Amino acid sequence: MTIKRILYTLLFLTLVSCTHVHNEIRNLMGKHVRIPIDEMICWNSGTSSVVKQGDAIKEYTYVVYLDSAICSSCNIKEFGLWNDLIDKMPNAQFVFIVAPHHKEDVTYIPLYLEKSGIESRVYIDDKYKFAEANPFFPESYIYHTVLLDKNNRIILVGSPLRNPKLEKLAMSIVNDDSVKVATQMPCP
C-alpha cells in the first residue's frame, strides 16, 4: 500500500468516526436523565450511608457515570481531577456514579475513592439502577459524562477533563445564564 493510500484511509476513518460521535451526541441531546440516588450507596469522605433526594437543587448537574464495562478502579483514580472543575462551577452540582463490575467489588470501591482524593459524594450503584432508568445511553464510556439542565435534560455530552474546548463550553453554559443549550460538541 502506498503512503498516499494509507493517509486517505486514515482520513476517511477519522471522518467516519467523528460523524458517528456527532450522531450519538445528537441522539442524546435533550433526553431526560433519571438519577435514582435514593437506591444507591453514598460514599462521602470515607463514610458510606444511604442518602435520599433532598439536597439543594442547582441550575445544572454534571453526571459522571462509570459502568461495569470499563475498568472502574482505573477511572476512579482520576476522580480527584474533578475537584478543580467543581470549584470553577459553583452553579452546578456533580453526581458521580460507579456501577461495579461484580457485586463484591462494592467493598473495594471506597478504597479507590479514598485514594483518588475526590472531594465530592460518589454514589455506588450496586443494583445498576442508573442504567435501568436510562437505557438510551450508548455503551461507550465517552458518552457517560453529561451536563444536565435544571429539568435533568442533557445539554452537553463528554468529559471536560482532557478537552479544553469542552471545558470552556461547559464553563460558559454553567457560569452564564444566557447560554442555555450547547448546539455543537467538539469532536474528541
Residue-wise pLDDT tens digits, 5-26: 554 454 443 444 466 677 888 8
On whether residue 61 sits in a domain, the answer given is yes
- Four-CA torsion 176, 34, 73, 44, nearest 10 degrees: 70
Q: What is the pTM of this model?
A: 0.79
Residue 142 has pLDDT above 70, yes or no: yes
Range of the domain at 86: 3-175
DSSP of 65-89, one letter per residue?
EE-TTS-HHHHHTTGGGHHHHHHH-
On whether residue 154 sits in a domain, the answer given is yes
On whether residue 181 sits in a domain, the answer given is no
On whether residue 56 sits in a domain, the answer given is yes
On whether residue 183 sits in a domain, the answer given is no
- Band (pLDDT 50/70/90 cuts) for residue 34 is very high
Distance CA 138, CA 22 (A): 13
Distance CA 23, CA 3 (A): 30
For residue 166, what is the domain's CATH number?
Answer: 3.40.30.10
Distance CA 96, CA 17 (A): 27
On whether residue 180 sits in a domain, the answer given is no
On whether residue 8 sits in a domain, the answer given is yes
Residues 6+ apart with CB under 8 A from 108: 73
Q: How many domains does the chain have?
A: 1
Strand pairing report for 122-124 and 92-98: parallel
Among 88, 84, 118, smallest CA distance to 98 is for: 118
Number of H helices, E strands in the chain: 6, 7
